[in-house]
A and B are shown apart, each in its own frame.
Chain A
Amino acid sequence: MIHTHIHIHRYVRMYVFMYVHRICMCVCTYICLCVCVCVSLSLSLSLCLSTDSCRFFLPDKVCTCIIMNTSQTDAIFLRCTEACTALDIAARKFPSVGKSRVRAARLQIVHERALHQGDIKTAHAACDMLSGLFSTVEGVDIESKFDLGHRRARTLVRAGQFAEAASMAHSLFNMCCKYKMQLENIKSLLLLAEIHKKARSFVSGLPYALAALTLSKSLNMDLVHAAAMVTLAELWLGLGPSHAEQALGILQQCMPLVLGHGERELRARIYIAVAQCHLSNPSYSVNANPQAVCEPLQEAAEEFESLEDNEQLCEVFHLQALVFNALGATEERDHAATLFQKFTLLLKNFQTGKP
């Protein structure tokens, strides 16, 4: 018995190190300041950082928590397939514990993927199943509740139901304030800004983005701060071409952090935003400096492709085709246009529910 525990312990330590290596060093650096993002996450990190704790073994629940989080972050940073492999390993290694947790993690991945692809129905279904999982007699922890609400709101945004999404985000914000969840607080503010952005009411989105910016700054949450900067830049960009330069400036400030440590989606977003800034800037000419636009667009295309985000891919290839057209590169233009067509069709299929 002791042996298995030691084994588990070792195993977890290994994961924890992977964690440090892949993720914690970068994404969750703010945890170092003991801003609690998630119980298991901070525990895992405190494990890594404190050297004296290696003598106690971990309860199984924490093990799975860590693995689950690893797989989730995998989904954000790598691809779904890797995340699923991680989950398989987790399920095999710890068959006794937390079957529902593995299931929940799987559902979260499914939801993430469906949301990116534009498959609203599946996303809704995944949300429903998740809520079904959580409403057990064991009680639901508040983080899971927030996560579910956040997912629901994002699904609503994707479906174009902005009013419902906004009210949901507001209630999330209230909940976070009530339970003093700072990170979630900022996340819900960013979500609100995002909803306003999607609803093309950029001016009303600005206060939310700015609030998120100040909050994250005061709490030293670098990556969330960078995400808030990106959202802010997108809002400025939406206000018209005269603000493009300002938006570009904001993006350049957070560029190193986002590219180095940001998740895939954020990276893709910043790339496309940079390209849009250049393109909408009246003083910029494609012929003078094509690299400034072509490179970020290419990067954005790669990132979105691995996320299978059809909607954004359409946008990227549209811009790409326009740029190549202006440059007179007909072959590349036609290629981009074909891809644009392909992804538009795919998106439409998902939206109408065809296979």
Chain B
Amino acid sequence: MQHDGEAEARGRNFTLHLDKALPCPIDKAVWNPEKDLLAMVTKDQQLIMHRFNWQRLWAVSPEVRVTSLCWRPDGKALAVGHEDGTISLHDVENGNIIRQTVTHHCPVECLAWVEEKEMAQTAADDLFVYEDRTPRFFPPPPKSPAMPGAAPAFDISGAVGSMEDPNSPMDAKTALKASHQQINILCSGDRNGTICLNIFGVFLIGRVDVSELDISTCKHEKDATKDSSYRLHDPFILKVSLSENLHHLSVLCTGKLVSSHFEERKTNQEAAYGVFSLKINTALIGCRSKELHQVALQVSSIEELLEVLQVSMNVMQKVWSDAHTSFREKFKGLSQLLREHGSHANPQEECLSLLSCGLASSGLHQFLAVSLGEGGLKRLSKTMDAALRELHVVIAEHLQPVAEILAFRVGELRGISRWKARLRSIGLDEKLVDQAMENSGMVLIQIERLLRVIADKVAQYRMFFIWLTKTLRQLNNENSPSNDQLPAINSEAVAIFLKTQFEHDILGPHLASVTNDTVWIDMNLGDKETLEELALMGGFVNSEFLHNSLNQQISQLFLSCQHAFSMPSKVVSQQLHFEDILFLRHLHQPNVLNLYVPVSLACYEDKEKLVSGEVCRYVCFQIPEKTSEECMFIVITREYWKKPSAPTENTYREAIALSIGAGLSCIDLSLYKEKQLVLLGQTVSCAQAWLMIMPIDKLPYKNITGVFPFDGPDLLNVCLSEVRYLIAPSWRAISMMFLSDYFFGMGDLQGAVFSISLNDGRARILPYADVVPPLAVSASRGLACVFGAQRRVLLYDLEEDEDVEDTEMD
């Protein structure tokens, strides 16, 4: 047939790179924008990463079902949206989770990660330069200490294990930082219509609830009196995209458009249910991108540092409680022995009497000589000493440097927060940051105090154990010369130790966890006086803070930071306004959960019109159910708008419906590079599958600017309007008021239908007929990946035709 002839002629389009078997059908697939890597989610919920040559890099099995995937623009991290609303970032190298954030409460349906492109810069933009000075003044922050194993001291296995462990977090952090040169924003949309914008994927800057947007039709001046405003009910986000200058957020979602006026809602029983294309004005983010970049940079580092603080505290708590428990356990035996020997004195009193008269009661003697022994004493002493030294090391090498860097970073943040003219609009509040600054200063002082307390403890425990060893040897009548080698003891210090610390854990309260409310650390009078004097000189307002434990202080700092950093998203979210809406298509069945809607959205600056600085957006979607026609439609709309947050008058919009030739059907589509479309389809009889790439910028688009009421008929009907334009009965009531507009505009609204066949682009017949979505296309690498239902995968190079390569090979 004619079809076959064409197919033969075109058979050599594209280069087939690979034809491999798949272990499991694929649910989602996304190409890495920088490298030849393909991330896929299988139907049995495995996240796998394959190289271009189909070598598997890694595979992880997330606990929660994966609902969306996207790459960071630099290709070094993969964002994965889950069914429970979490978004996790995976390292490209090994699949480890770098960060996990919970920003949504229901399945994350789509993700888009957009990097700001350097626009043709005006002189004014160049002036706002912010610098992160921290690396100039501080060494890289230490990582979290490794959690000790069962034995806290002399843990060789821990030391060996730490060779691997700290490596990966460090890599993760460098991977996280690598892309921080330019601001990039991760947009995520969920099933309930909430869209979140995260800078670097970690710092939430804006949250839009589509169902709460005021959708007004006051575009036309004469309708202004009417004040018809609408709400989109039950929104379900299909796709989001941010323009490269960060001024506009494009959203494709399904939902029910309902008038927000109660009476009107009553008269119109039927709501417009279907797919909508929304445009949300995010000009604030675009205008303040440099400030946001700096704030996000500092905030994300501060959050990391806080994490290190918390982990270090946990480690210290564990180390100390282990050591102290073993100390306790050992001396518990003493009180038992004393009771058995009929003595009513407690161990503390016995020890004190031993210190004062040098005579041990029989119970104490037995305990020291038999149950403890010199070896046991030595071991216990070493345990305590090692634990205390480890605490010292953790503080000196982790806690203190981290707290210093943290204070510096908060200070930098306070610096920019004082520039109200620029920073107030993005919600960085000076007072809140001041509060965080105050708390970080307190943490610094608390850490220093704890360091000193620990240094004192080391000396006191050493002294105590030396005294015990000496006494034991005397009791055993060992007058060996080695006894003289022990350092002299200060009996006063030992007495103080016995009185104050032998039975009480002095260090415990300092390390106590936050939940322990009863912690109240005594401050000596001098310290208190000093603090009050300091307050006079402009020190900390709260002169009582030394009563808190370090953990409480850190949690206070954490809370104040959280409070300060949550403000920007609150303020910015209020500034994200509805800008434009387009009714794409009517849906008959309200349940979209099982429906796969092939849809593609691309937003970029038009290179040809760079001078006028226009942004171009292509939306491309397929009408899946074959209405009454035998042919299938794909509708493409494109919009241009002027770059600097233009008023809507500057927007113009065009649309076209592509009717796919008879005998063909489309399975999936994807916009490719700029102004090209990749289609994956089958013949109706399912005998053959085809892949086609076609340019779409020269199609005969029709201008639909201004003539198109958003709650009227859907876009396909508008495109078909010349052929037959009927107002469906249900639309009549709504459309009546726009009718005059219609007839006014109808003159130049010709039908915009263009029928395509495989001749309209470069096409290739695929070896397998049973292709299934998804179609994964990489614009940057020129690759397409097609999956077959028989667990096959085909990899095509879209740029090179096979003929060319063959001749080259010859």
Return chain B residues, CB-CB under 8 Å to A295. Answer: 420-421
Query: Whose C-beta in chain A lies nearest to the C-beta of B445?
Result: A17
How many residues does chain B have at the interface if contact means C-beta atoms less than 8 Å apart?
Answer: 43
Return chain B residues, CB-CB under 8 Å to A13. Answer: 448
Find out whether the CB atom of B133 lies under 8 angstroms from the CB atom of A29.
Answer: yes
Task: Choose among A25, A77, A89, A255 the residue that contacts B408 (Cβ–Cβ < 8 A).
Answer: A25
Return chain B residues, CB-CB under 8 Å to A259. Answer: 415-416, 418-419
| Distance from B394 Cβ to chain A, minimum over Cβ atoms (Å) | 12
Find out whether the CB atom of A82 lies under 8 angstroms from the CB atom of B418.
Answer: no
| Distance from A78 Cβ to chain B, minimum over Cβ atoms (Å) | 5
Asked whether A14 and B407 contact (CB < 8 A) given A51-B396, A256-B419, A261-B415, the answer is: no
> A194 at interface (Cβ–Cβ under 8 A)?
no
Find out whether the CB atom of B396 lies under 8 angstroms from the CB atom of A260.
Answer: no
Asked whether A78 and B415 contact (CB < 8 A) given A7-B526, A25-B408, A291-B421, the answer is: no
Query: Whose C-beta in chain A lies nearest to the C-beta of B422?
Result: A255
Return chain A residues, CB-CB under 8 Å to B138. Answer: 32
> A86 at interface (Cβ–Cβ under 8 A)?
yes
Find out whether the CB atom of B127 lies under 8 angstroms from the CB atom of A25.
Answer: no
Find out whether the CB atom of A260 lies under 8 angstroms from the CB atom of B538.
Answer: no
Return chain B residues, CB-CB under 8 Å to A25. Answer: 407-408, 411
Task: Choose among B129, B400, B408, B531 the residue that contacts A253 (Cβ–Cβ < 8 A).
Answer: B129
Query: Whose C-beta in chain B lies nearest to the C-beta of A11?
Result: B530
Find out whether the CB atom of B396 lies under 8 angstroms from the CB atom of A49.
Answer: no
Find out whether the CB atom of B137 lies under 8 angstroms from the CB atom of A32.
Answer: yes
Asked whether A260 and B420 contact (CB < 8 A) given A7-B526, A17-B445, the answer is: no
| A: interface residue count bin | 35 or more
Provide the bound-state CA to CA distance between A149 and B713, in Å.
83
Provide the bound-state CA to CA distance between A353 and B127, in Å.
45
Interface residues of B in 322-337 (CB under 8 A from A): none
Provide the bound-state CA to CA distance between A89 and B400, in Å.
29
Return chain A residues, CB-CB under 8 Å to B539. Answer: 18, 21-22
Find out whether the CB atom of B444 lies under 8 angstroms from the CB atom of A21.
Answer: yes
Find out whether the CB atom of B530 lies under 8 angstroms from the CB atom of A220.
Answer: no
Return chain B residues, CB-CB under 8 Å to A180. Answer: none
Query: Whose C-beta in chain B lies nearest to the C-beta of A93?
Result: B533
> A345 at interface (Cβ–Cβ under 8 A)?
no
Find out whether the CB atom of A70 lies under 8 angstroms from the CB atom of B415.
Answer: no
Find out whether the CB atom of B137 lies under 8 angstroms from the CB atom of A29.
Answer: yes
Return chain B residues, CB-CB under 8 Å to A32. Answer: 137-138
Return chain B residues, CB-CB under 8 Å to A69. Answer: none
Find out whether the CB atom of B537 lies under 8 angstroms from the CB atom of A85.
Answer: yes
Asked whether A54 and B452 contact (CB < 8 A) given A17-B445, A26-B411, the answer is: yes
Find out whether the CB atom of A260 lies under 8 angstroms from the CB atom of B416.
Answer: yes
Return chain A residues, CB-CB under 8 Å to B533. Answer: 89
> A10, A256, A291: which has the most chain B beta carbons within 10 Å?
A256
Return chain B residues, CB-CB under 8 Å to A77. Answer: 538
Return chain B residues, CB-CB under 8 Å to A85. Answer: 536-537
> A20 at interface (Cβ–Cβ under 8 A)?
yes
Interface residues of B in 397-437 (CB under 8 A from A): 400, 404, 407-408, 411-412, 414-416, 418-422
Find out whether the CB atom of B538 lies under 8 angstroms from the CB atom of A74.
Answer: yes
| Distance from A24 Cβ to chain B, minimum over Cβ atoms (Å) | 10
> A33 at interface (Cβ–Cβ under 8 A)?
yes
> B130 at interface (Cβ–Cβ under 8 A)?
yes
Task: Choose among B136, B416, B448, B526 the residue that contacts A256 (Cβ–Cβ < 8 A).
Answer: B416
> Per-residue 0/1 for A148-166: is the Cβ within 8 Å of any B Cβ (1 yes, 0 no)?
0000000000000000000
Return chain B residues, CB-CB under 8 Å to A140. Answer: none
Return chain A residues, CB-CB under 8 Å to B400. Answer: 51
Find out whether the CB atom of B418 lies under 8 angstroms from the CB atom of A78.
Answer: no
Return chain B residues, CB-CB under 8 Å to A52. Answer: 396
Return chain B residues, CB-CB under 8 Å to A261. Answer: 411, 415
Query: Whose C-beta in chain B lies nearest to the C-beta of A25?
Result: B411
Provide the bound-state CA to CA distance between A355 and B620, in Å.
81
Interface residues of A in 1-25 (CB under 8 A from B): 7, 10-11, 13-15, 17-18, 20-22, 25
> A249 at interface (Cβ–Cβ under 8 A)?
yes
Query: Whose C-beta in chain A lies nearest to the C-beta of B124?
Result: A249
> Per-residue 0/1 for B531-552: is the Cβ within 8 Å of any A Cβ (1 yes, 0 no)?
1011011111000000000000
| Distance from B9 Cβ to chain A, minimum over Cβ atoms (Å) | 62
> B744 at interface (Cβ–Cβ under 8 A)?
no
Provide the bound-state CA to CA distance between A25 and B133, in Å.
12
| Distance from B257 Cβ to chain A, minimum over Cβ atoms (Å) | 38
Interface residues of A in 32-83 (CB under 8 A from B): 32-33, 49, 51-52, 54-55, 70-71, 74, 77-78, 82
Find out whether the CB atom of A22 lies under 8 angstroms from the CB atom of B538.
Answer: yes
Task: Choose among A21, A86, A253 the residue that contacts B441 (Cβ–Cβ < 8 A).
Answer: A21
| Distance from A246 Cβ to chain B, minimum over Cβ atoms (Å) | 10
Provide the bound-state CA to CA distance between A54 and B416, in Å.
34
Provide the bound-state CA to CA distance between A120 and B585, in Å.
80
> B128 at interface (Cβ–Cβ under 8 A)?
yes
| Distance from B71 Cβ to chain A, minimum over Cβ atoms (Å) | 32
> B114 at interface (Cβ–Cβ under 8 A)?
no
13 A-B pairs whose Cβ atoms sit less than 8 Å apart in the complex: A7-B526, A10-B526, A11-B526, A18-B539, A21-B539, A29-B133, A51-B451, A55-B455, A85-B536, A222-B133, A252-B128, A256-B419, A261-B411
Interface, chain A (partner B; CB < 8 A): 7, 10-11, 13-15, 17-18, 20-22, 25-26, 29, 32-33, 49, 51-52, 54-55, 70-71, 74, 77-78, 82, 85-86, 89, 220, 222, 248-249, 252-253, 255-257, 259-261, 291-292, 295-296
10 other A-B residue contacts (CB within 8 Å) besides A20-B441, A26-B415: A18-B534, A21-B407, A29-B408, A33-B137, A82-B536, A82-B537, A248-B127, A252-B127, A256-B418, A260-B414
Nearest 5 Cβ contacts at the A-B interface = A260-B415, A21-B441, A259-B418, A256-B416, A51-B396
